[in-house]
Amino acid sequence: MSFKTLSLAAAAAVALALPAFAEGTIAVNDAYARVSSKMAKAGAAFMVIENTGTEDDQLVGVSSDVAKRTELHTHKEDADGNMKMLHVKEGFAVPANGTHALARGGDHVMFMGLNRGLEHGDVVTITLTFEKAGDVTLEVPVDLERKPDHGAMKHGDHSGHDMKKSDG
């Protein structure tokens, strides 16, 4: 095997190992899922969506076979200062040559009524539907050890939701 062939093989192995997905003008980086409430069988997925195209796009829908319902959600503070989750039917804008982050305490993909338990290391297949780019299917690793980013809101992780919270 020549050095060049070896390098290509190594590059391919690295590419497969990275949780990055690119399809057309949309790339998804740093995707992970976690259980937000074992009792209520709810979970969420987070990622950074990148639009490498020259036209603004919009994430308008999401689907998955791990849950009865998979929705695009965001967090909003109510009048009493409690964080509530809201279903965002219109979805999220992903600007041309820009990114939109789905992150703890903010916008997220919500799994409601999980069909199976999500264990650390499992992989969840989800399909994101974009207005222009169409469907982008990706494999999202379940990461139960990841801590919220520094500066994340104190009550930002699905507390104040109408589901029982069993996991911070």
Interface ranges with Cu ion (CB under 5 A): 73, 85, 110
Closer to Cu ion by Cβ: residue 57 or 73: 73
Closer CB to Cu ion, 50 or 107, in the complex? 107
Please report how close the Cβ of residue 14 comes to Cu ion at its closest, in angstroms. 33
**Closer to Cu ion at the Cβ: 41 or 73?**
73
27 vs 60 by CB, closer to Cu ion: 60
Task: Please say whether the beta carbons of 118 and 42 come within 8 A.
Answer: no
Find the shortest distance in angstroms from Cβ 17 to Cu ion: 29
Report in angstroms how near the CB of residue 44 gets to Cu ion at its nearest.
6
Exposed, middle or buried, 140 (CB in 10 Å: 0-12/13-18/19+)?
buried
Instruction: Using alpha carbons, select from 83, 106, 103 the residue that is nearest to residue 155.
Output: 83
Least distance between Cu ion and beta carbon 161 (Å): 7
What is the Cα–Cα distance from 37 to 88, expressed in whole angstroms? 20
Of 155, 157, 159, 146, nearest to 30 by C-alpha is 146
